[in-house]
Amino acid sequence: MAEHKGVMVFGEQKKGKIHKVTYELLGKACELAAKLDEQVYCCVVGPSGIQVDELIFRGADKVFYVTDDDLFELPEVLTYAKNIVRVIEDVKPEICLFGATSFGRSLAPRVAAALKCGLTADCTGLEIDAGDGKLIQIRPAFSENILAHIKSKVLPQMSTVRYKEFDEAVRDSSRKGEVKTYEPIRIADPMIEILEEIQKEEFSIADAKVVVSAGKGLKSPEDLKLIRELAEALGGVVGSSRPLVEEGFISKAHQVGYSGNRVKPKLYVACGVSGAPQHIAGMKESEMIFAINTDPSAPIFNIADYGIVGDLYEVVPKLIERINTRKDVQ
């Protein structure tokens, strides 16, 4: 234990732009490192020109930067893993945190396997045990019915954390830190060849300020038009509960919840959503929750700030009309 020191964050980037989950992890890393009286590190693998100073402004004391324009142009996970493992073996952090983004979920298990250490996926809380100084990794288990507290016996203690779980580290442009660069390691045969990059619909519900979600109260996919109209009137995006995704009403990118996306908008409108624990897990941090449901005993009303007991097919058109009329007056 003695030779492992520091809390390391994997600095995820895409085409040189740092993913915001990195700033959230740095915020948590600062908290943990302060309790351990240790330093905060950030390991970045990517092309040249990444704003590494920004990582220092957000709390990193040292940035370890493995850079190569050709090698890291595409997110080839085995090459990334190899290079991160080398940095971890060199620096020997006590704790390593990755974002549970699709890339982080693919990367972290490979890094953990190479280092022969454990990995706790999708943590919702991280604390330091005041007794033994170990990391307590908190994550929901059994469909969100219990919160498991997990400790690792091996170092480094490694976790992935979902995007939007923690607050971003506060930016302080007067902070100073060190940047150490590494030459990249090439894998003779990475076994993966990226033939083509297909541009997906750039839709990120996680960053939306307003989310209007539909649940099983919606009778047909065509009726999503209503939800879309309300979302547009409010300047937001459409979310959904899992059954609508399973029934093919809408793509998984819109799903809110435990097995979907975590959202933290200023306003969350739930239309015909019952409020199952797995749905609530993805939206309970919303600043204001507004629910429309025909059933007054629906659990969503337990967490809603405002609610209307009523049929969404009657309530939503009235809301759209009211909002649009107000806009016309302004």
Residues near ligand FAD, by CB under 6 A:
143, 215-217, 241-243, 255-260, 272-274, 276, 278-279, 282, 292-295, 298, 311-313
Nearer to ligand FAD, 110 or 294 (CB): 294
Pairing outcome for strands 135-141 and 125-128 = antiparallel
CB of 244 to ligand FAD, least distance (A): 7
Residue 186 has phi, psi (to 5 degrees) of -100, 145
Nearer to ligand FAD, 237 or 292 (CB): 292
Nearer to ligand FAD, 297 or 330 (CB): 297
CB of 100 to ligand FAD, least distance (A): 14
Q: Which residue is nearest to ligand FAD (CB)?
A: 257
C-beta atoms surrounding 15 within 10 Å: 11
Structure tokens at 51: 């704003």
Helix (H, G, I), strand (E, B) or coil at 91: helix
Beta bridge partners of 327: none
CB of 88 to ligand FAD, least distance (A): 31
- How much of the chain is in helix, strand and coil states, percent to nearest 5? 30, 25, 45
Nearer to ligand FAD, 48 or 143 (CB): 143
Nearer to ligand FAD, 160 or 255 (CB): 255
Nearer to ligand FAD, 158 or 226 (CB): 226
CB of 298 to ligand FAD, least distance (A): 4
> Dihedral angle at the C-alpha atoms of 135, 136, 139, 145, nearest 10 degrees?
170
CB of 55 to ligand FAD, least distance (A): 31
- List the alpha helices (DSSP H) in 164-290: 224-233, 242-246, 277-280
Residue 146 CB contacts under 8 Å (≥ 6 apart), including other chains? 140
How distant, in Å, are the alpha carbons of 22, 24, 114, 133, 245 from that of 160?
11, 12, 16, 19, 25
Which residue type sits at 142? Answer: F
CB of 258 to ligand FAD, least distance (A): 4
Rounded to whole angstroms, the Cα distance separating 38 from 45 reads 23
Rounded to whole angstroms, the Cα distance separating 309 from 315 reads 9
Nearer to ligand FAD, 18 or 218 (CB): 218
Nearer to ligand FAD, 66 or 300 (CB): 300
CB of 310 to ligand FAD, least distance (A): 7
CB of 161 to ligand FAD, least distance (A): 17
